[in-house]
C-alpha cells in the first residue's frame, strides 16, 4: 500500500522541477493526481505515468482555475507550486516585474485556494501545501527583492488559512527550501553575465556541498500530504518546513 492511496491531489507547475517531481512521487504513493501547468508540451510527458492526469491551466486566470475546480467532486490535497524568480534589487524591479511576480507567486495561490477550499470544508478534511522559500520573511537574499517579498506573502497566506480553518479539519503548510537544482535555476544561471561564476556562487552557499534536488523536496511533500501528519499537532497549521540550509542560514530545520 502507498502512503497516499486513494487521495485526490491537484498541483500546479508540474511540467518541470519540484512540481514534476512531486506529481511523480504522489502517484507512486497511490494518489490520483491532476497535474497542471501552462507548458502543455512538457506537461504531457507525465501522461504515461499511472495515476497522473494532466491539464493545461494558467493558475493566474480565475476562469481557468474555477473550471479546474468544477472538474473535481472533492480534493484531498492542493499543492500550490507555481512561481517565478525575478533577479535584482528594488531598483532593478520595474512595476511590471513586481506585478508579474506577485501575480504568479501569490495571486495564483489565492485563486487556487479559494476555488478548492470549499470542497475540503464540505467534507471537513483537506490539506493545502504552498511552495515558499528561505528567501522570504525567513531571511534576506541578495538580488531577490520582489521574489522574497512574494514568498513572505505566501508564508503569511499559509499562516492565515491555517489559523482560520484548523478547527474545520484543514491543514495548511508551506515548504521553504534553500537553493534547489531545477531547470528554472539552471536557466537563471545561464542568463547571468558569467554563468560559471554564478554557479560557483550558488554552490559556495550550500552547507552540504551540493544543492537540494527536486526529488528531495518532493519526498517532504509526500510526508506533508500523508495522514502521517494528522496526529503530529506541531505540523498541523502554519509550519514552515526547510530543507538543505545554506551556510549562513543558521542550520534551520523548521520554522513555525
Q: Give the catalytic positions in this structure.
A: 147
Q: Is 52 helix (H, G, I), strand (E, B) or coil?
A: strand
Give helix then strand counts, H and E, for the chain. Answer: 9, 10
Per the structure block, which three cell numbers stand in for 122? 464540505
Instruction: Give the CA count within 13 Å in the CB-facing half-sphere of 49.
Output: 24
Angle at 131 between CA 34 and CA 135, to 5 degrees: 160
CB atoms closer than 10 angstroms to residue 166: 15
23 near 33, Cβ under 8 Å?
yes
Which one, of 194, 212, 211, lies nearest residue 203 by Cα? 211
How close are the terminal C-alpha atoms of the chain, in Å?
31
Amino acid at each position: 500500500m502507498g502512503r497516499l492511496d486513494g487521495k485526490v491531489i491537484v498541483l500546479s507547475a508540474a511540467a518541470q522541477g519540484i512540481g514534476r517531481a512531486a506529481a511523480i512521487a504522489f502517484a507512486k504513493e497511490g494518489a490520483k493526481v491532476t497535474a497542471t501547468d501552462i507548458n502543455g508540451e512538457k506537461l504531457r510527458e507525465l501522461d504515461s505515468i499511472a495515476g497522473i492526469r494532466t491539464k493545461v491551466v494558467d493558475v493566474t486566470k480565475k476562469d481557468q482555475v474555477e473550471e479546474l475546480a468544477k472538474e473535481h467532486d472533492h480534493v484531498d490535497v492542493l499543492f500550490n507550486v507555481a512561481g517565478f524568480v525575478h533577479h535584482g534589487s528594488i531598483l532593478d524591479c520595474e512595476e511590471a516585474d513586481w506585478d508579474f511576480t506577485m501575480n504568479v507567486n501569490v495571486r495564483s495561490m489565492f485563486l487556487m485556494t479559494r476555488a478548492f477550499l470549499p470542497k475540503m470544508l464540505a467534507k471537513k478534511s483537506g490539506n493545502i501545501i504552498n511552495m515558499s522559500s528561505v528567501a522570504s520573511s525567513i531571511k534576506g537574499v541578495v538580488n531577490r527583492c520582489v521574489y522574497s517579498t512574494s514568498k513572505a506573502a505566501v508564508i503569511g497566506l499559509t499562516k492565515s488559512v491555517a489559523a482560520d480553518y484548523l478547527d474545520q479539519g484543514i491543514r495548511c503548510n508551506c515548504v521553504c527550501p534553500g537553493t534547489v537544482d531545477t531547470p528554472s535555476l539552471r536557466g537563471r544561471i545561464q542568463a547571468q553575465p558569467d554563468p560559471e561564476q554564478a554557479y560557483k556562487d550558488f554552490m559556495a552557499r550550500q552547507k552540504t556541498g551540493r544543492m537540494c534536488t527536486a526529488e528531495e523536496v518532493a519526498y517532504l511533500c509526500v510526508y506533508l500530504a500523508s495522514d502521517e501528519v494528522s496526529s503530529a499537532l506541531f505540523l498541523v497549521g502554519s509550519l514552515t518546513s526547510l530543507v538543505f540550509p545554506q551556510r549562513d542560514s543558521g542550520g534551520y530545520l523548521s520554522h513555525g
